[in-house]
Structure 1
Amino acid sequence: MLMNSSKLMFLTFMILSTMMVYSSSNFLMSWMSMEINLISFLPLITKSKKMKDQPMKYFIIQSLSSSMMLLSMVMKLKIETPINFEIFMMISLMMKMGLIPFHLWILSFMEKMTWNNCLIMNTLQKMSPTLMIVQMISFKMIIIPMIMSLLIAPIAMIKMNSIKKIIAYSSIYNSPWMISSLYISKSLFLIFFSIYLILNFMMMMKLKTQNIMFVNQITEKNLLTKTNLMINLFSISGMPPMLGFFPKWMILNKINEISVSMSMSMLFSTLVSTFIYLKMISLILLNQTTKKKFLKTKNFNEMEILINMTGLTWFLMFKPN
């Protein structure tokens, strides 16, 4: 991924600000780090000609959520009020992450972004709000919004044709998995996030190189590209024995001890998302076109398939305690 010095500088600031959130024990310092992250991300998304007014929309939503976060802390420290400050904190962080019911902005926003920015939005931008949710909000309070995101997002994907909207909904129903893993342990969160980052990187780079924006465009590609995308989608949904199944199996095993309703919602979201991907892939594999197909990136395709298949090795080697 080629980039000029300004892009590299802003990306460095984003990574450093995320590390500052994870290393600070002060709320004000964490809030400032999240604002630095926001200011660093805005120049990256304004480079695209398609964005137009989308950066301003993103800035307004993030600023509103940050203001609500500060208001909740003021209410906690200075004002005696019957309103629980955790509600305002939870709403502000849900807006930042794009969880249901505050998810509509992220669909239109991601649809007009480049694939590189979509990758950053799906991975790096979710790390800071995830940590803040775990530190500031109890699991019992956040469980209902997480269940809503797990149930509604896969169902909303059924009639989607835009790949970017499908990925946006995929990130929405994967966010509760990410939050739950951090509630369980930091090491489990790092395993889940690392694998989620690898899978998203492989899929988005493939969609970028093949210039695929809609589902029906995949039918024109060669069989190896279709198979590669199919395995990537199954791995993200958590289908065994793919790479993405291993961390979800560990999270599900632990979360079942904390909340049965949460584990059932996770299973339902995984089943529905796998059904949607099966429905999409069946149309892709069964449709044949008369166009001549060239295998330009055969070695890279094979490498991606092998990476996904390492999930079987992980499954045989490790087991959750």
Structure 2
Amino acid sequence: MMLNSTKTMMLLLTLLSTMMTYSSTSFLMSWMSMEINLIAFLPLASKSKKMKDQLMKYFIIQNLSSSMMLMSMILNFKIEAPINFEKLLLISLMMKMGLIPFHLWIFSFMEKLTWMNCFLMNTIQKLSPTLIMPQMINFKEIIFPMSMSLMIAPTIMMKLNSMKKILTCSSIYNSQWMISSIYLSKNMFIMFSLIYSLLNFSLMKKLKSQNMMFLNQINEKTTMTKLNLLINLISMSGMPPTLGFFPKWMILIKMNEISILISLMMLISSIISTFIYLKMNSSMMLNQTMKKKFFKMKKIMEIELIMNTTGMFSFIMFKPN
């Protein structure tokens, strides 16, 4: 994504609106920040003519969810509301984030985006709704939606062939860890968001440089590229001793004190997603090609390998609050 002055301004406005949501104490102010975030993201996503229909779909869904948020705020001020405002607010936030069962629109939308816009959708665009949840919604209300997303998202991933759709399912699954971390501690939420964003950026940068859109394209790459993708994927799933294991280990320890059901679902979904990634990469690593095996390891690969293998040493230095 080439950044001109307009896109740079919109990207800064997107980051600023997320910080406004994080620092606001009013529900109306948080809603306004999310609307600014929406308006700033639309010019970033409108790169090609193919995105016109998808942008309209995205705009309609985001506006519908914003209207539901305002309705939930109005119901909150009534003494005898026919619908619990927390459930209505939860549905609107799940629609904004594309969580299960409101996930069908996000697959077609992510398929048409560039890799850098996919990175923004998987990370920055999901921060604002996550920040609102602990302020307005009780943790008991989100146990069932979280359990459903944790179990269904890795199952959907098994039948997918597009890398963007696979990373979309991974984002749906990891969003539950992000939501859990914000209920536990803001410091834990910031740490998990930064590490998850770093892993996403590293993986999408690699896929963009190698021009890989589908799984079968990885078979033509070198062994070092396959190994690098394997480590990035299992790091996102939280397999030790990679970097992604470090924040998930702390979240599991603290979540076990609150809800054993959610911690058990998290553990099972992590095992399923790790199995999918290993099964996905086993055929890539074992497949022999006719290409020459003489190649040089780039410095970027060395940095990513070191970064993902220091997870076991990192969590020794830190303790969950």
- TM-score for both structures, normalised by structure 1: 0.97
* 1:288 to 2:288 alignment: yes
Give, in angstroms, the shift of residue 292 of structure 1.
4.0
**CA deviations over 1:14-59 (Å, ceiling 9, x no partner):** 0111111111111111111100000000111111343231000000
Whether the aligned pair in 2 keeps the contact of 1:222 and 1:294 (CA below 8 Å) is: no
Provide the rounded CA distance (Å) in 2 between the counterparts of 1:38 and 1:124: 11
Give, in angstroms, the shift of residue 7 of structure 1.
0.4
Q: Name the structure 2 match of 1:158.
A: 158
**Secondary structure of residue in 2 paired with 1:17:** helix
Give, in angstroms, the shift of residue 78 of structure 1.
3.9
Q: Name the structure 2 match of 1:272.
A: 272
Whether the aligned pair in 1 keeps the contact of 2:154 and 2:273 (CA below 8 Å) is: yes
Task: Kindly report which structure 2 residues correspond to 1:86-125, keeping only aligned pairs within 5 A, or say none.
Answer: 86-125=86-125
Q: Name the structure 1 match of 2:149.
A: 149
Give, in angstroms, the shift of residue 73 of structure 1.
0.7
Task: Kindly report which structure 2 residues correspond to 1:139-218, keeping only aligned pairs within 5 A, or say none.
Answer: 139-218=139-218
Gaps of 5+ in 1: none
**Secondary structure of residue in 2 paired with 1:291:** coil
Change (3 A) 1:245 1:82: same
Q: Name the structure 1 match of 2:256.
A: 256
Give, in angstroms, the shift of residue 296 of structure 1.
7.0
Provide the rounded CA distance (Å) in 2 between the counterparts of 1:173 and 1:164: 14
Whether the aligned pair in 2 keeps the contact of 1:150 and 1:269 (CA below 8 Å) is: yes
* 1:76 to 2:82 alignment: no
Which is further off, 306-315 or 161-170? 306-315
Q: Name the structure 1 match of 2:230.
A: 230
Gaps of 5+ in 2: none
Provide the rounded CA distance (Å) in 2 between the counterparts of 1:19 and 1:157: 32
Whether the aligned pair in 1 keeps the contact of 2:119 and 2:201 (CA below 8 Å) is: yes
Q: Name the structure 1 match of 2:66.
A: 66
Whether the aligned pair in 2 keeps the contact of 1:100 and 1:148 (CA below 8 Å) is: yes
Whether the aligned pair in 1 keeps the contact of 2:188 and 2:320 (CA below 8 Å) is: no
Change (3 A) 1:115 1:38: same
Instruction: Give the number of equivalent residue pairs.
Output: 321
Matching residue's letter, 1:125: Q
Whether the aligned pair in 2 keeps the contact of 1:72 and 1:85 (CA below 8 Å) is: yes
Give, in angstroms, the shift of residue 319 of structure 1.
3.3
Whether the aligned pair in 1 keeps the contact of 2:21 and 2:34 (CA below 8 Å) is: yes
Whether the aligned pair in 2 keeps the contact of 1:48 and 1:114 (CA below 8 Å) is: no
**CA deviations over 1:241-275 (Å, ceiling 9, x no partner):** 00000000000011011011101100111000001
Which is further off, 198-207 or 293-302? 293-302
**Secondary structure of residue in 1 paired with 2:52:** coil
**Secondary structure of residue in 2 paired with 1:92:** helix
- TM-score for both structures, normalised by structure 2: 0.97
Cα RMSD after superposing both structures: 1.3
Q: Name the structure 2 match of 1:129.
A: 129
Change (3 A) 1:54 1:188: same
Matching residue's letter, 2:288: Q
Provide the rounded CA distance (Å) in 1 between the counterparts of 2:81 and 2:191: 40
Provide the rounded CA distance (Å) in 2 between the counterparts of 1:269 and 1:10: 36
Whether the aligned pair in 2 keeps the contact of 1:50 and 1:113 (CA below 8 Å) is: no
Provide the rounded CA distance (Å) in 1 between the counterparts of 2:274 and 2:38: 33
Whether the aligned pair in 2 keeps the contact of 1:238 and 1:270 (CA below 8 Å) is: yes
Whether the aligned pair in 2 keeps the contact of 1:218 and 1:284 (CA below 8 Å) is: yes
Provide the rounded CA distance (Å) in 1 between the counterparts of 2:302 and 2:50: 33
Change (3 A) 1:222 1:50: farther
Change (3 A) 1:282 1:70: same
Matching residue's letter, 1:20: M
Provide the rounded CA distance (Å) in 1 between the counterparts of 2:101 and 2:141: 15
Which is further off, 289-298 or 190-199? 289-298
Greater than 3 Å deviation, 4+ residue runs: 292-297
Provide the rounded CA distance (Å) in 2 between the counterparts of 1:293 and 1:66: 54
Give, in angstroms, the shift of residue 196 of structure 1.
0.2
Change (3 A) 1:58 1:296: farther
**Secondary structure of residue in 2 paired with 1:82:** coil
**Secondary structure of residue in 2 paired with 1:52:** helix
Provide the rounded CA distance (Å) in 2 between the counterparts of 1:70 and 1:244: 36
